[in-house]
Amino acid sequence: MTDDRAKKSATRRDFLAGTARLAAGITLVSVAATKSSRATPATMQAAIRKVVGAAPVRKGKIMIDVPPLVENGNTVPVTITVDSPMTATEYVKSIHLFNEKNPQPNVIGVHLGPRAGKAALSTRIKLADAQKIVAVAQLNDGSFWSDDADVIVTIAACVEDLQ
């Protein structure tokens, strides 16, 4: 009788421990999944470093024009302008746009030259969450300039499911 009860309680203990382990496992898996499916400020910094290398990035010369509050993250109008005369001796080589919380940190990278006349572009982007976006411009002298903008998004894009 005592043996029987001991056996029973052992089974119950095993069961509880097993459930706990399973729950812990699921939590771990879901945490890992969330981590891998979203960019973070750190991955954005890494993506920026990939473009600029070890060069210092200064604030200024470039400007992001984006609405501070957008309803639909699926189409967010963005205009980037770089203050440059765009002459043969002084021009913008490239402009890159990054984000913090989309699945991937890169948004767009454009390459231009003195023939652009004006270093500016407009496009529409997707934003998965309220976040900060960063634009980096490379001038022909090798210097990098950046600007950032905070955007509040009420309906997120990119990761929504069709279910």
Give, as one character, the DSSP assignment of residue 116. Answer: G
Q: Among residues 20, 123, 8, 6, which one has the least CA distance to residue 66?
A: 123
| Between 53 and 56, CB nearer to other proteins | 53
Q: Does 117 bind other proteins (CB under 8 A)?
A: yes
Query: Angle at the Cα of 67 (from 43 to 108), degrees rounded to 5?
Result: 40
Q: Binding mask 55-94 vs other proteins (x if CB under 8 A, - otherwise)?
A: -------------------xxx------------------
| Between 7 and 150, CB nearer to other proteins | 150
- Provide the pairing of β-strand 144-155 with 69-72: parallel
Cα 118 to Cα 85: distance, rounded to the nearest angstrom: 7
Q: Kindly state the smallest distance separating residue 108's Cβ from other proteins, in Å.
A: 6
| Between 120 and 144, CB nearer to other proteins | 120
* Inter-residue contact 77 to 71 (CB < 8 Å): no
Q: Does 51 bind other proteins (CB under 8 A)?
A: no
Site of interaction with other proteins (CB under 8 A): 37, 74-76, 99, 102-104, 106-113, 115-127, 157-163
